[in-house]
Structures are given as structure tokens and as C-alpha cells.
Amino acid sequence: MDDKASNQARLDDRKREALERCSSGKVQMVDFKFTDLPGSLQHITYPAHRMCEELLQEGVGFDGSSIRGFAQINESDMLLKPDITTAVMDPACKIPTLSVVCDVQDPVSGERYPRDPRFIAQKAEEYLRSTGIADTAYIGPELEFFVFDSVRFEQGQQYGFYYLDSDEGIWNSGNHVNGVNHGHRPRTKEGYFPVPPTDSLQDFRSQCVLNLKSAGIECEVHHHEVATGGQCEIGMRFQHLSKMADQVMLYKYVLKNTARAAGKTLTFMPKPLFGDNGTGMHVHQSLSKDGQNVFYDPEGYALLSETAMYYIGGLLEHSPALLALTSPSTNSYRRLVPGFEAPVNIAYSQRNRSAAVRVPVYSRSPRSKRIEYRPPDSTSNPYLAFSAMLMAGLDGIKRKIHPGEPHDMDLFELPREERAKIRTVPGSLEEALEALEADHDFLLQGGVFTKDLIDTWIEYKRRKENDYVRLRPHPSEFYLYFDT
């Protein structure tokens, strides 16, 4: 049986299994999920008795004009085409619910909708195969997050505030509830790897891992992160690009709902706390051809092949533009600040975490050789971010963009004149959007991204997000200037 026939057989088996679940009563609801352009999960739910071969074939209708970044009102009718291979029992629902990821389709033309983020990721994988460089892009993101006990925020014409709290936060060391204070809290920038009771979220993370496993997501590790106040990380096993993007969306959904069930709230916001570490999404990447890692060379720098070096060259070359897709919020640039151990230097190194590209050296195994791109965060749409990084790397390979010499020294200890020679990432969302406007041809190769999608992204980010923040007084400005 050839690969095509084998894939069809697996598809038929998954379809039959899903339909049997629905008809047997084991499933009572079916939830059809998809992702809007900015990167938020959306859904519509049908009773399980409506799940049938005809529905899977024809799709589920919805109003595309009500989805951010999608259709205009005069072209609002759209279809969700369920990808039955993604069907899992939804761990966040008390009513037995089958969760299915969908592709978006134009009902008139029958074609895939060009602004569907999942379509971009699938096209990126097709383009990779067409180049002959490799047949598979493996992606392993590290999503960090904060778990708080409460959050309040509001923005009005004449006021604005936010207030976060976590019993684990070091700021609560002098407080007490009914005379009780357990006293074990990670100090600022000392949250990396303490055991309970200082790490108060051990069982919470373990429950998250179990819930992710029930949703078909394999996790490899979980731990407390550097910041006080509940910063954590749960590591997923690497997957090919589009499947990992699916998993990131499901991962965020499962973790937020697990937190809610525990009476807590969870955020992937890059910089919720002042004066402590921000939250990133470091993205490990490698390319494989015929089962062989094309990034590995036993004689290369940090065991990297020439292909991998050119891939790094592409990432560094296009970093200013990439950040408009991989770090696409105004809050991203509260984290990406020079001088604070953030990955702001457009350079590469083995082990150096202040460089935009790090080469992990934990293992000498050919299978594990990869590079890590460190500026991204989880405000990105993973379908777009992973695709954009792949396209930048492939452009580097095709054009043989060498990244130059590695920067293995402590970049913060360099003399000022030497530091000035190293490019840094954009300092604001507006700078990143301007870079994307000037440099996006690499994304258009193979029709992976479209000019319409890039223009829509820039317009949305600039008008709906950047201007929303830019035009409002900041609380710190009252502290600095009210008595002028």
C-alpha cells in the first residue's frame, strides 16, 4: 500500500471511529474549532446526533464577517471543513464533547480560504517539500505562562488600571489572611527550579500534563520558571509544523481551562509583571529529509551543517520583519528590552541565551540537533509564526546567507563600541510592522503567504492594537508629569 492509500485508510478509520462514538451515545456534543487571524481559538457546537458523513463532506456554515481578520459583510458566508484526524475528547467539557479542528473554505468557489491561518501552515509544509531541501519541518515551542489567583483590569476615557495577584508572589511576604502566611515564595528572578512548598504549582502543572495527554498531546517536562508570582513552563514533544500549530492552540485552551477549574487564571501575556522575567515562546526547529536530520554535521560548529547555518542566516536576516508575526503585540516589547537578558541581539551562539538564535548543546545525538529562535512569544498566531520562521530559514538556505561568526561571549559584558556593532530586534510593535512592510517577499515564495494576508495583518495590528495603546495616557505618565 502506497503512502496515499495508507493515509486514506487511516482517515477512513478515524472517520468511522468518530461517527461510531457519536451514534453510540459516548459523545453528546461535537465542537468544531478553528483559529482567527490574530490567533484566538473560535468554535461552534453541534449535538452529536447531527454528526454524519454528509456533514463531514459538506461542512459547517458560519459568519466569516464576525471573525477578526476574516471576510467582509458582503462575503460573510463561509464553511468549516472538519479535519477528522484531529478529533479528541475535549478535556475542558463536563458534557462528553468531541473536539475537531477545522479548515476554512469559501462555499462559492469551493477553495480554501486564503486568510485561514491553518492553510498558511499547510502551504508552508508543501513549499518545503517542493524545494527538495527537506520533507519535514520539526517544531518544538517552549510556551511559558503565568498562573495568577486573580486579575482585574479596565480602561475608560478618564481612567485605566490593572491589578494582578498571586499568593506565590514575593510581594505577599508581609501579608496574611486570618493571621496565616506560609512564607515560602520564590523571590524575584529566583523562581527557577525550587521544590514545593516554594513551588506552589507542582500539582497544578501535573494536572495540566494529564489533561493535555487526554487531548492527545505528549508532554516531556514541566517546571517552575524564573519569575515569582507563578511563572511556569510545560514542554511538548516536537511535531511537524502544522500539527504543532494545532497543538499550541489546544495547549493554550486546555491550560486556561485547567486553571479556571482550579480557581486560578492563566495568561500567556509576555510581560504582565514589572521588574521580573517576561514570558516567551522559544521555538526549536530542525529540518529532516528521508528521516535524516539535515541540520546535523559532526564537523560543523556546534555540530551544525552548512544547511543549518544558512537557515540561521535567513532567520537573522529577516528578524526585524519576522517579529511582526512572532512577537506581534505591544506588550511583546516590554519583554524584548536591551540590557535585561532578553534575546534582543540579532546574533547566534551555542548556549548564549541573549542571542536571537541559540544552538542547544545538551546532546550530541544527530537526531536532536536543532536551533532555537528565542524572540517569539505566545501572543503570536502559531500557524503564521511557525510558517514565517520556516520561510525565513528556507530563504537563507536558497540564498546561502551565512550568519557570520558566532557570539559565544557574554554580550552584555562587551565594550559599548563592540555591542553597538550587533544589530538588535525592533524596539516596538510599530517598528516591527514597518520592517514587515519593507521585507516580506520571502514570505510570498511558493504562494505560502499572500500580499492580502500580510496587508490585513499589518492594518489590524496597527489600527486595532498599536493605536489602542499609543493613544492612551499611561499610568506612569501621571507619576512623572502630573505635577508639571
pLDDT tens by residue, 173-224: 999 877 889 899 999 999 999 999 999 999 999 999 999 999 999 999 999 9
8 A C-beta contact, residue 435 and residue 423? no
Q: Which of the following is catalytic: 142, 199, 246, 395?
A: 142
Give me the CATH number covering residue 179.
3.30.590.10
Listed residue (386, 395, 210, 421) closest to 312, CA to CA: 395
Is 430 annotated in the active site? Answer: no
130-165 pLDDT tens trace: 999 999 999 999 999 999 999 999 999 999 999 999
Give me the CATH number covering residue 39.
3.10.20.70
8 A C-beta contact, residue 135 and residue 128? yes
Instruction: Based on the fold, state whether residues 207 and 303 are members of the same structural domain.
Output: yes
Instruction: Based on the fold, state whether residues 66 and 162 are members of the same structural domain.
Output: no
Q: Which of the following is catalytic: 68, 351, 353, 367?
A: 353
Position 75 pLDDT exceeds 80: no
Q: Does residue 279 belong to any structural domain of this protein?
A: yes
Instruction: Based on the fold, state whether residues 256 and 372 are members of the same structural domain.
Output: yes
Q: Which of the following is catalytic: 36, 116, 225, 246?
A: 225
Spatial separation of the C-alpha atoms in residues 79 and 81, rounded to whole Å: 6
Q: What percent of the chain has pLDDT over 70?
A: 97
Q: Final residue of a domain: which of 80, 113, 146? A: 113
Instruction: Based on the fold, state whether residues 61 and 153 are members of the same structural domain.
Output: no
Instruction: Based on the fold, state whether residues 279 and 358 are members of the same structural domain.
Output: yes
Instruction: Based on the fold, state whether residues 108 and 172 are members of the same structural domain.
Output: no
Q: Which of the following is catalytic: 20, 63, 77, 220?
A: 63
Q: Which of the following is catalytic: 83, 116, 233, 465?
A: 233
Q: Which of the following is catalytic: 115, 284, 358, 374?
A: 374
8 A C-beta contact, residue 270 and residue 377? yes
Kindly state the DSSP code that residue 172 receives in the 8-state scheme.
G
Position 336 pLDDT exceeds 70: yes
Q: Which of the following is catalytic: 282, 284, 335, 358?
A: 282
307-327 pLDDT tens trace: 999 999 999 999 999 999 999
Spatial separation of the C-alpha atoms in residues 172 and 76, rounded to whole Å: 50
Average pLDDT over residues 23-47: 95
Is 353 annotated in the active site? Answer: yes
Q: Which of the following is catalytic: 83, 90, 372, 395?
A: 372
Average pLDDT over residues 443-447: 97
Is 225 annotated in the active site? Answer: yes
Averaged confidence pLDDT in the chain: 93
397-411 pLDDT tens trace: 999 999 999 988 777
Is 462 annotated in the active site? Answer: no
* Joined grid coordinates for residue 94: 463536563
Q: Does residue 482 belong to any structural domain of this protein?
A: no
Listed residue (272, 201, 210, 257) closest to 232, CA to CA: 201
Q: Does residue 126 belong to any structural domain of this protein?
A: no
Is 284 annotated in the active site? Answer: no
Domain range holding 387? Answer: 136-472
224 by Cβ neighbours in 10 Å (0-12 / 13-18 / 19+) ranks as buried
Higher pLDDT pick, 1 / 164: 164
